[in-house]
Structure 1
Amino acid sequence: MSTYVMIHGAWHSGAELEPVAALVRASGHSVFTPTMTGNRPGDPKTTGLEDAIQSILDFISESNLDDIVLLGHSYGGIVITGVADRMASRIRRLVYLSAFVANNGESLSDLVPSHYPGLLTSLGDGSVVLPFPIWRDAYINDADLETARRAYDRLNPHPLKTFTDKLVVRTNPAEMAMPKSFINCTEDTALPHSFPLHPRLSEKLGLYRLVQTPGSHELCFSNPARLAQAVIEAGRD
């Protein structure tokens, strides 16, 4: 059995991954779903990417975890790359779930279409939110309206600086020694299919295992059981 550490994406916390984690635990695995600095209640919204990465490094160290399957969803993909660069000896496999794959010197903002930052709503405290119409049709297009609204109400304002800060790593993902997987949700339109996460960014992993599953960018809300199965397939030896 494996030990999973599942890292959430932007606007989320670890709680949103708990329905998936519970199903992975039911298969006999240990699963942890920490919330990164910047997305915890009361966190300053001036939090940067390095702060988010350090919060996961601290969680792994303080929890004394080893031989980890480290999963990152969306923005969390950049975070797990930073964690893996500094804590490679504790990680068995990296799993990128509909995730951004960045090399040294790249930010999330560098990896999206140029007009995307203008779609977000600034709250004036360093954070941004995603307007509901974009969430509904681009992020959770496989859910009914009630599920989409209920999920949207659980989101929290996200620190913009984590999107614009450049990742600093010594080793790019393709050169990292541990095995890697990429879960591609085939109805994910959070990025346009002409500028996709897969294969445009997944190929930056070098050698990796591809797991494809039907569903949107927010499969954790719309079909946790389907996502849990994909996570287990992606994380197995």
Structure 2
Amino acid sequence: MTEFVLVAGAWLGSWAWDDVVPELRAAGRGARAVTLSGVAERRGEPAGQQTHVQDIVTEVERHDLRDVVLVGHSYSGIPVGQAAERIGDRLAHVVFVDSNVPVDGESFVSALPDVAASVAENGGVWPPLTAADCAGQDLDDEQTARIVAAATPHPGTALTEPAVLTRPLGELPATYIKCLLDGPDPMPAVARLLTSERWRLVELNTGHWPMLSQPSALAHLLLRSTEPTRA
């Protein structure tokens, strides 16, 4: 049975997938969401980027999961991309949801100096979302209030540690879901990966947090990611 392992982006815990997990299970797939160290109910735990990679690998290995589809949203695409190569033949597919991707030797903030400055100015954490950050992202007032209330500061070390890859990311079987309200074009690192015959791009007409704004549509795309590519 296909097993989805879902990891939300910065500031968010496993709760962010509460509307997606039941739809995947109703379709006969396994589904579990991971809260990374240092955020949500794990706030205060020591955390860095490599800690987050290990969080994901540990989840897969502890439950002896096979035929795994790793799903990384936003920041979490970076640890998910690294974990994908570390779980070996347990991996079936990787799905990046409007996410960053790991680049060997580079960190999340390598191309985001404003985030690095924010972390430095706020005691080593990235301050959580505000309602203004959610504007124009297909979230209604209730959804915006939910995400703002539940978001917690993100540990800065996870954003500044470099990624470690032992093989080209383009060799992994992957789907990239681009959320169009967050910008129509994938970032350059993603665009380069999409030239690989093992990667495919799909688009979703919603904002950056589709697990909240369009959970059913996102679940449908996740399920489609496990289907063979048609000529």
TM-score range for the pair, normalised by the shorter chain length? 0.7 to 0.9
Would the aligned equivalents of 2:11 and 2:129 in 1 still touch at CA under 8 Å? no
| Alignment of 1:187 onto 2:198 | no
Would the aligned equivalents of 1:103 and 1:172 in 2 still touch at CA under 8 Å? no
Would the aligned equivalents of 1:142 and 1:222 in 2 still touch at CA under 8 Å? yes
- Cα 1:60–1:199 change in 2 (3 A) is same
Would the aligned equivalents of 2:128 and 2:152 in 1 still touch at CA under 8 Å? no
Would the aligned equivalents of 1:95 and 1:234 in 2 still touch at CA under 8 Å? yes
State the Cα deviation string for residues 101-122 of structure 1 (Å, max 9, x = none): 122101111133x334445695
Unaligned runs of 5+ in 2: none
CA distance in 2, matches of 1:25, 1:5: 12
Find 2:213's aligned residue among 219, 222, 226.
222
Deviation at 1:134, TM superposition (A): 4.2
| Alignment of 1:166 onto 2:162 | yes
Deviation at 1:2, TM superposition (A): 2.0
Aligned residues: 225
Would the aligned equivalents of 2:35 and 2:42 in 1 still touch at CA under 8 Å? no
Would the aligned equivalents of 2:40 and 2:151 in 1 still touch at CA under 8 Å? no
TM-score by length of 1: 0.86
Find 1:129's aligned residue among 127, 130, 133.
127
Letter in 2 for 1:149: A
Deviation at 1:67, TM superposition (A): 1.4
Task: Write out aligned runs for 1:16-95 (5 A).
Answer: 16-44=16-44, 46-95=46-95
Alignment root-mean-square deviation, CA: 2.2
- Cα 1:83–1:121 change in 2 (3 A) is same
Find 1:153's aligned residue among 149, 163, 167.
149
Deviation at 1:46, TM superposition (A): 4.7
Q: SS of 1:54's equivalent? A: helix
Identity between Structure 1 and Structure 2 (%): 25
CA distance in 2, matches of 1:120, 1:20: 31
Deviation at 1:19, TM superposition (A): 0.9
CA distance in 2, matches of 1:95, 1:42: 24
Structure that is richer in helix per residue:
2
CA distance in 1, matches of 2:119, 2:160: 13
State the Cα deviation string for residues 65-110 of structure 1 (Å, max 9, x = none): 0111111111111011111222222101111110111221011111
Would the aligned equivalents of 1:121 and 1:129 in 2 still touch at CA under 8 Å? no
| Alignment of 1:233 onto 2:224 | yes
CA distance in 1, matches of 2:19, 2:30: 14
- Cα 1:122–1:232 change in 2 (3 A) is farther
- Cα 1:187–1:121 change in 2 (3 A) is farther
Would the aligned equivalents of 1:101 and 1:204 in 2 still touch at CA under 8 Å? no
Would the aligned equivalents of 1:141 and 1:216 in 2 still touch at CA under 8 Å? yes
Would the aligned equivalents of 2:128 and 2:154 in 1 still touch at CA under 8 Å? no
Letter in 2 for 1:215: T
Find 1:200's aligned residue among 163, 167, 188.
188
TM-score by length of 2: 0.88
CA distance in 2, matches of 1:235, 1:87: 18
